[in-house]
Structure 1
Amino acid sequence: MLLSRNGITRLVATGVYAVPLRGFSTAAGGSSGAVAALGARGGSTVALGEKEATRLPQEREEVAERHAKGQKENVSYWGVPPSKVTKDDGTAWNWSCFRPWETYKADLSIDLKKHHAPLTALDKLAFWTVKSMRFPTDIFFQRRYGCRAMMLETVAAVPGMVGGMLLHCKSLRRFEHSGGWIKALLEEAENERMHLMTFMEVAKPRWYERALVFAVQGVFFNAYFLGYLISPKFAHRVVGYLEEEAIHSYTEFLKELDNGNIENVPAPAIAIDYWQLPKGSTLRDVVMVVRADEAHHRDVNHFASDIHYQGRELKEAPAPIGYH
């Protein structure tokens, strides 16, 4: 900051901001008081950095004392308190990734055998694209259905997020509603992600399986992104067929459990709370509700593709929000 008095020009800097000496004015004719205010802000920022090491331990102790006394606590300067959530019986809610009002009971009565016959050239392309993706999966995982489920969910959680993101951007560009489809697709993505979080408790992936997830997700995300930009009806049809394959995979999973080839271990706690399963539920119960979810996703995506085939946009048909 250039400062002048009696023909003398000076530059005084403290911290981030230049601070004028008392009685000097800026060369641009600005107020020295305003610049001094900026200097004070800069000085306080520097002081904050110096005091950080001593302030944080003190804050932790204060928070611990308030917590011990049952007082409401703030975890940051901005005063956003941590939410206190309990179950219906008054016990503490253990999950921060989802809340009690986001849980549900899966509809196990859904028809698992429904299939969209590929009649058009685009449908056949979508059908055989999914079939070609299944072939290397069968070879790699064979009958290790726990790890297979994890791989499946890392892929299945991508389309809903990509579709919802693109519809979100489209809604912003056109200044129009999406008919609820943004929320419906993001719900699907979150539901698939919860499948993954559940199976992570059952089967621990090996390092090369994690590496495979990186590669497959990177390729699939970009391929689906481009596919959705080019043809949403094709993209949704691919997901519809992908969910049909998921139903088949989980049906085989159930057969292995029933035959005793896979141990029917107790259901993870996260699954019991998320699907409102009764206490004492097992892995078989978890696979049943996950398979039902996949059947619902199958219906949603075939429905979305049909809307596009009719020459309409998704916003013209009500989105199946909450239809897991």
Structure 2
Amino acid sequence: MHALPSPKVASRILPINARALPLRRALLTPCMASAINSRRSFASSFPRRDEKVLQVAKTNEKSIIGPGAEGPHIKDLSPKTPVVVPSSTEELRGDWVLFHPVYSPEELRSVEVLFRDAKTFSDRVAHTFVKIARWAFDFASGYKHKPLPANAATMSLEELRKGGYLMDESQWLRRILFLESIAAVPGMVAAALRHLRSLRLMRRDHGWIHTLLEEAENERMHLMTFMTLKNPSRLFRAMVLGAQGVFYNAFFLCYLISPSTCHRFVGHLEEEAVVTYTRCIQEIEAGRLPEWTNLPAPEIAKDYWRLGPDAKFLDVVYAVRSDESTHRFVNHSLASLKYESDINPFALQEPDMTTKGSRICFERDESARFAEEAHRKITDRRGEAA
């Protein structure tokens, strides 16, 4: 009989997540397992909230709910299947994340570069700050993208790079890593403030918190994916630390004053992110980033976006761009709502990628209709199940 790790050790190496309960139960003492069973029995006596449904056109259902590229999820294993517990020095891998979209090949290529016009004073303030932030990001990351000269066809790749017309793979990674280390801040700040507001007023949140947390984690997973290709220097990490400190506190204070302006700011920021990744895709497909042309997708990306075993890095960039278009759509839509009373229309489901990729947002009345339709679908499913 193999010795089991103590509950204290198990709690450190295993994610505290409902998906991992079968494994945790095997590791915990019988007394603790009994307590867990009692709590789950109590919870099961109440109606369970329906799982979010992403309406993805022409997407195989198995690609959404099936095992990832790293093998079956723990929740998919039978109770009798032995599970190897990693040591403290090994990485625990798997899809231990919140809800996030998984895209079909058609959806990945349905994203358009879109910009929302500033219609109000609040919109103009948000747009101005995005322009300032874009300039700062470009300066800090060394980003450059000048129009190609008329004789570009006769110039070598090295000549174009020396002339400042193109960036190499290292420069692109520096730009992306800096962008993603900052992009994950707004969702977490907004979720924390909504969470505290709900506690303070002792009212429900109308479904905003989860969507904001999902956005923050999605951006963090972008960073974790690109980190597999480059380990930033200490100077770069120091720059990220400074930028994150300034941006976090500035966004925190601004969100206290005007949440709608902050969501509009993030929507405009995601517009710029879509532009950046669209240019990156164009550079890869044009052969101007040869190191990435046939580069295999990192394993973390294959598991997260449910990519095939032969997926390339180009597929990852397409998936990241689709995520950014989702954040663009969601934040512009949230900015049009009444922060204090309107429900989050994406709490129960999100539009398919063909909608999020080709439209800039829902206006307030459209958000209300979309939320009502999602609620009606769930009610109908419950009625059919009964």
TM beyond 0.5: yes
The 3 A distance-change label for structure 1 pair 187 and 78 is farther
Q: Deviations over 1:193-225 (max 9, x none)?
A: 111110101222122111111000000000000
**What does residue 126 of structure 2 align with?**
126
Once the 2 structures are TM-superposed, how far is the Cα of residue 131 of structure 1 from its aligned partner? 1.2
Match of 2:27 among 64, 74, 77: 74
Q: Secondary structure at the match of 1:276?
A: coil
1:204 to 231, 250, 264: 231
1: CA distance, partners of 2:70 / 2:333: 41
Q: How far apart are residue 274 of structure 1 and its match? A: 0.5
Distance 2:243 2:343 in 1: 33
Distance 2:279 2:190 in 1: 29
Structure-2 separation of matches of 1:237 and 1:100:
26
Q: CA deviation at 1:266?
A: 0.7
Listed as ranges, the matches of 1:139-158 within 5 Å are: 139=139, 140-142=141-143, 143=167, 144-158=171-185
How many Å apart are 1:99 and its aligned residue? 3.3
Please state how far the C-alpha of 1:190 moved relative to its aligned partner.
0.7
Q: Mapping of 1:53-92 within 5 angstroms? A: 62-63=3-4, 73-74=26-27, 79=32, 87=67, 91=71
Displacement after TM superposition at 1:159 (Å) = 0.5
Deviation string 1:228-286 (CA, Å, 9 cap, x unpaired) is 00111111111001100100111121122123332221100010110011111111100
Question: What is the distance in 2 between the residues matched to 1:121 and 1:138?
Answer: 26
Partner AA of 2:67 in structure 1 = K
> What's the C-alpha RMSD, in Å, of the aligned pairs?
3.0
Tell me the amino acid that sits aligned with residue 272 of structure 2: E
Following superposition, the deviation at residue 123 of structure 1 comes to: 1.3
1:226 and 2:253 equivalent?
A: yes
* Greater length-normalized contact order (CA 8 Å, ≥ 6 residues apart): 2
Answer yes or no: is 1:99 the counterpart of 2:96. yes
Residue 114 of structure 1 is matched in structure 2 by 114
SS of aligned partner of 2:3: helix
The separation in 2 between residues aligned to 1:178 and 1:115, in whole angstroms, is: 29
Match status 1:245 vs 2:272: yes
* Alpha-carbon separation, structure 1, partners of 2:92 and 2:218: 15
1:284 equivalent in structure 2: 314
* Structure-1 residue corresponding to 2:241: 214
Q: Deviations over 1:153-187 (max 9, x none)?
A: 11110100110111111111122111111001011
Change (3 A) 1:183 1:103: closer
Separation in structure 1 between the aligned mates of residue 24 and residue 196 of structure 2, nearest angstrom: 43
User: In the superposition, relative to structure 1, how do residues 220 and 277 fare at CA in structure 2: closer, same or farther (>3 Å)?
Assistant: same
Total equivalences in the alignment: 251
The question of whether the paired residues in 1 share the 8 Å contact of 2:97 and 2:217 is answered with: no
Change (3 A) 1:147 1:72: same
- Work out the CA distance in 1 between the residues paired with 2:31 and 2:237: 38
**Partner of 2:195: helix, strand, or coil?**
helix
AA matched with 1:252: R
> Structure 1 CA distance, aligned partners of 2:24 and 2:216?
37
CA distance in 1, matches of 2:70, 2:259: 45
Between the aligned partners of 1:215 and 1:101, the Cα distance in structure 2 is: 28
Q: Is the 8 Å Cα contact of residues 87 and 100 (structure 1) preserved in structure 2?
A: no
1:316 aligned onto 2:346: no
Q: State the structure with more CA Rg.
A: 1
Supply the distance in 2 between the matched residues of 1:306 and 1:163 (Cα, whole angstroms).
16
Q: 1:290 and 1:74 mapped to 2: Cα distance?
A: 37
Assess, with a 3 A threshold, how the Cα gap between structure 1 residues 103 and 111 changes in structure 2: closer, same or farther.
Answer: closer
> Could you state the TM-score of these two structures normalised by the residue count of structure 2?
0.59
| Code of the aligned partner of 1:135 | W
How does 1:125-204 map onto structure 2 within 5 Å? Answer: 125-139=125-139, 140-142=141-143, 143=167, 144-204=171-231
Q: Specify every segment of 5 or more residues in structure 1 that has no aligned partner in the other structure, as ranges.
A: 1-60, 65-69, 81-85
1:20 corresponds to: none
Shift of 1:317: 2.8
Q: 1:305 aligns with which of 335, 354, 359?
A: 335
Between the aligned residues of both structures, percent identity stands at 38
> Whole-Å Cα distance in 2 between the matches of residues 275 and 88 of structure 1?
8
Structure 1: which amino acid aligns with 2:27?
N
- Report the TM-score when normalising by structure 1: 0.69
Alignment deviations for residues 8-28 of structure 1 (CA, whole Å, 9 cap, x no partner): xxxxxxxxxxxxxxxxxxxxx
Structure 2 unaligned blocks of 5 or more = 6-22, 34-65, 74-90, 144-166, 354-386
